[in-house]
Amino acid sequence: MNKENLAISISGMSKWYDDFKVLTDIDLSVTFGERIVICGPSGSGKSTLIRCLNHLEEHQKGSIVVDGIELYPGMKNPELVRRTVGMVFQSFNLFPHLTILENCILPQRRALKRSKEQAREVAMKFLERVKIPEQADKYPRQLSGGQQQRVAIARALCMEPKIMLFDEPTSALDPEMVSEVLDTMIELALSGITMLCVTHEMGFARKVADRVIFMDTGQIIESNAPETFFSQPKHPRAKEFLGQIL
């Protein structure tokens, strides 16, 4: 396949923290519109892998191309790739000194140089989409965890990214708030955006994922459609893992 048409193309990629090898020879191609769920035991390198995709972490070997932009250690303008890649964190990471609306407006104003009016319009559009326009003038600490995470999703979407990365977006939530965030993510998935999502929510994976990727000790050891992965995991580690979480 032509690399230019790929959302993400990773080949032979390895990463070390000092002399500890976190990722080993990762190969992964993601087409536009594809929805991928990444799972695996704690410490297997899931977060590290997706953080390499918007250059929050640098890889040392192999290549990563995201939306046609080659990422490399010490690259000069990582913000260029970050503008086409949105990210949602486990711990929300909203800006506590700004209101919900300002959280959504500021990045557009500074990174995309949009006008105040336009940024505001876009922000309200996405706050409506995650169903909290009425909270626009509150501060993050006044919102529940589920609401904060939906704002974080809206904030990322305001940049109109082509690719969205999620790192365990529901793990820090109280159980009763998980579904509101998952619903938002399902809706987003159905809109056709490219998504890579680290999560252990297997119901979500079944519903929206085109592919489930299973990682262990820094390697991708299984990659399959959800039905196949859940019903006939090949690798013993994957079987063991599914036994634990299902």
Partner 1 sequence: MNFMENLFGPFYGNMIGLLLSATRYTIYLSLAAFFGGGLLGLILTVFKISPSRILRWFATGYIWLFQSIPLLMLLFLLGLGVPTFYQIDIPPWLAAGTALTLFTSAYMSEVWRGALESIPTGQWEAGKAVGLTFMQNLCWIIAPQAFRIAIPSTVGFMIQVIKGTSMAYIIDYDDLMRWGKRIANSQLDGAEPFVVFPIVALIYFSLCFPLSLWAKHLEKQARDS
Which SS3 state, helix, strand or coil, does residue 177 take?
Answer: helix
32 binds partner 1 per the rule CB under 8 A: no
Q: Side-chain half-sphere of 209: how many Cα atoms within 13 Å? A: 28
Nearer to ligand ATP, 22 or 208 (CB): 22
- CB 47 to Mg ion: min, Å: 3
Partner touching 189 among ligand ATP, Mg ion, partner 1, none, CB below 5 to 8 Å by kind: none
What is 76-130 written as a DSSP string? S-HHHHHTTEEEE-TT----TTS-HHHHHHHHHHHHH---HHHHHHHHHHHHHHT
Q: What is the DSSP letter of 17?
A: E
43 binds ligand ATP per the rule CB under 6 A: yes
- CB 38 to ligand ATP: min, Å: 9
44 binds Mg ion per the rule CB under 5 A: no
47 binds Mg ion per the rule CB under 5 A: yes
Which phi and psi angles does 118 have, rounded to 5°? Answer: -65, -45
Q: Provide CB contacts within 8 A for 238, sequence distance 6+.
A: 214, 216, 221, 222, 229
- 176 burial (CB, 10 Å; 0-12 / 13-18 / 19+) is exposed
Stretch that binds ligand ATP, among 2-10, 46-54, 69-77, 93-101 (CB under 6 A): 46-54
Size of site (CB under 8 A) for partner 1: 25
Partner touching 79 among partner 1, Mg ion, ligand ATP, none, CB below 5 to 8 Å by kind: partner 1
95 binds partner 1 per the rule CB under 8 A: yes
- CB 86 to ligand ATP: min, Å: 19
Partner touching 44 among partner 1, ligand ATP, Mg ion, none, CB below 5 to 8 Å by kind: ligand ATP
47 binds ligand ATP per the rule CB under 6 A: yes
Give the separation between CA 42 and CA 24, rounded to whole angstroms.
16
Site string for partner 1, 46-85 (x = CB under 8 A): --------x-x---------------------xxx-xx-x
Question: Dihedral through CA 184, CA 189, CA 194, CA 196, nearest 10?
Answer: 70
Query: Percentages helix, strand, coil for the chain, rounded to the nearest 5?
Result: 40, 25, 35
Residues lying near ligand ATP in the complex (CB under 6 A): 17, 20, 22, 40, 42-48
Footprint of Mg ion (CB under 5 A) = 47
